[in-house]
């Protein structure tokens, strides 16, 4: 079992930056592929970014490529999502996710553990 707790969300003006954190407890964090998803009001949850266990591989949704950066620190059991040049359309609840499967499975939404989410609001 893995418990995931996100933090770092908030209200920011367009063009600003935020860094989300996801602290994991329980099962060894380094055994899990990690990802971030988001859900805007009235929309389905969508994939944002994923990172392999060793940080060797990352994958991004086209909508955030070049704007967001995913990373992790296995020694701290923590994953991160650096979000730059934020736009109002990035407003959503952001969820951390972990999977015992490989990167492709996470991208496809096959997730074993979810965090409760953190709200990101970008004002114009």
* Predicted local distance difference test score (pLDDT) of residue 9: 97
Report the C-alpha gap between 42 and 27 in whole angstroms.
Answer: 33
Please check whether residue 25 is in contact with residue 3, taking contact to mean a CB–CB distance below 8 angstroms: yes
pLDDT in the model for residue 27:
72
How many CB atoms lie under 10 A from the CB of residue 63? Answer: 14
Per-residue model confidence (pLDDT) at position 101: 94
The pLDDT averaged over each successive group of 10 residues in the chain (124 residues) is 94 98 88 96 96 97 98 96 98 96 94 96 97
Burial of 69 (0-12, 13-18, 19+ CB in 10 A): middle
């Amino acid at each position: 079992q893995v418990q995931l707790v996100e933090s770092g969300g908030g209200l920011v003006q367009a063009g600003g930056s935020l860094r989300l954190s996801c602290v994991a407890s329980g099962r060894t964090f380094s055994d899990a592929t990690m990802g971030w998803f988001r859900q805007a009001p009235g929309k389905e949850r969508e994939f944002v970014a994923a990172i392999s266990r060793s940080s060797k591989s990352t994958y991004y949704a086209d909508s955030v490529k070049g704007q967001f950066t995913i990373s992790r620190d296995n020694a701290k059991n923590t994953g991160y999502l650096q979000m730059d040049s934020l736009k109002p359309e990035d407003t959503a609840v952001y969820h951390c996710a972990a999977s015992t499967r490989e990167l492709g499975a996470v991208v496809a939404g096959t997730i074993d553990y979810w965090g409760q989410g953190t709200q990101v609001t970008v004002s114009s």
